[in-house]
Structure 1
Amino acid sequence: MTPLPSRWALLIAAALLTACATPRPTGAPPGAVSVSWSDPAQFAEARDNHRDTPAAREAWLSALARHLAERAAAVLPADEKLDVRITDVKRAGGFEPWRGPQADNLRVVRDIYPPRITLEFKQLAADGRVLKEGRRELRDAGFLMRPAMYPSDPLNHEKQLLDDWVRKEFSRSALQ
């Protein structure tokens, strides 16, 4: 016979798997949002962080782009499209070389190093006409004062910044 704690663990695991497998309703289909970026080697993050390889930059930038596409697709009406081009990123935190060689690869996250993302976007109707377009410089000086939405994610602060922008820019009240 299985001990009681194991049964509870199995029930919790089954509930989590069911919740993860259940599709969430979304607005626009995933292909309706395209996210591209300019040369990441020219981003503020690349200038300040010489430790990242080009492959590492592509990896975290791809993760941000996927996140943005998923979030935007969930709030866009099904017949609209969104094109986003990320033109600059400065991730939360910074490197403090004066702390010595043992801290050389350590990103220190403090309120003086807020996340920043600059992007250009164009929201298109089904017939191709432009509903909204512009350039936004996203900043969150109070990023450490908020609860972490993605606590184990190294891109936690940047993803929250994108979530805020999507919510503010594309909510129903913002479109009217």
Structure 2
Amino acid sequence: MRMRIALFGVLAAAGLSPCPTARAAEVPAQTVTVTYDRPERFTETREEKALAPSRASDDYLVTLKTYIEKRGAKMLPAEQHLDVVITDVDRAGSFEPWRGPRLSEVRIIKDIYPPRINLSFKLLDAQGKVIREGTRTLRDLGFLTSDTAAARDDSLRYEKRMIDRWLRSGPDKL
């Protein structure tokens, strides 16, 4: 009896259930999944490696993935599933190495460097039937003149606003 209680305690602490079917019923299916298609070829990745090698990082990809999955889950009906494959990212701003060594690796935000995200998607119903699919190029040419209610310290605020606008368009217009 002690062994069974101890085993149950260990499983519960690990977030597991001794009865697999009970656990499966508790976990809702993920309504949005995001994957990246060859992120090493993304415009953002190539620019950072070429113009700001010490700043080159793909941490922004993790943040974008999490953001899209969470926001999409809030905006889609529970019975639908959205699969997003991001094929290119070019964040707002760019590097201008000609400004000198002190500013060569500082991202300069100007209206001539708008954010852009290329993606393909599939919107599925509860049975896995495709409701809508397609490719989109999200771009915000007026990103500096748009209302910036987002936190100024969020380095992905412009990209997140584009994603929100796309998701808010709704399942009928994705």
Under a length normalisation based on structure 1, what TM-score does the superposition of the two structures give? 0.76
Number of aligned positions between the proteins: 144
**Structure 2: unaligned runs, 5 residues or longer:** 1-27
Residue 102 (structure 2) pairs with residue 102 (structure 1): yes
The one-letter amino acid paired with 2:37 is S
- Work out whether residues 46 and 52 of structure 1, in 8 Å CA contact, stay in contact via their aligned partners in 2: no
The one-letter amino acid paired with 1:138 is L
Work out the CA distance in 1 between the residues paired with 2:35 and 2:91.
17
Q: 3-state DSSP class of the match of 1:31?
A: coil
- Work out whether residues 48 and 56 of structure 2, in 8 Å CA contact, stay in contact via their aligned partners in 1: no
**Structure 1: unaligned runs, 5 residues or longer:** 1-28
- Work out whether residues 37 and 86 of structure 2, in 8 Å CA contact, stay in contact via their aligned partners in 1: yes
Work out the CA distance in 1 between the residues paired with 2:142 and 2:136.
18
How far does residue 97 in structure 1 lie from its aligned partner after superposition? 1.2
How far does residue 151 in structure 1 lie from its aligned partner after superposition? 2.1
Distance 1:138 1:52, change over 3 A: farther
Moved beyond 6 Å, runs of 4+: none
Under a length normalisation based on structure 2, what TM-score does the superposition of the two structures give? 0.77
The one-letter amino acid paired with 1:44 is T
Work out the CA distance in 2 between the residues paired with 1:31 and 1:55.
31
The structure having more radius of gyration, on CA atoms, is: 2
Map of 2:112 onto structure 1:
112
Q: Deviations over 1:82-131 (max 9, x none)?
A: 10011100000011111111111100000000000000100000111100
- Work out whether residues 38 and 86 of structure 1, in 8 Å CA contact, stay in contact via their aligned partners in 2: yes
Residue 35 (structure 2) pairs with residue 56 (structure 1): no
Work out the CA distance in 2 between the residues paired with 1:169 and 1:91.
24
- Work out whether residues 30 and 69 of structure 1, in 8 Å CA contact, stay in contact via their aligned partners in 2: no
- Work out whether residues 87 and 118 of structure 2, in 8 Å CA contact, stay in contact via their aligned partners in 1: yes
Distance 1:130 1:52, change over 3 A: farther
Work out the CA distance in 2 between the residues paired with 1:48 and 1:56.
11
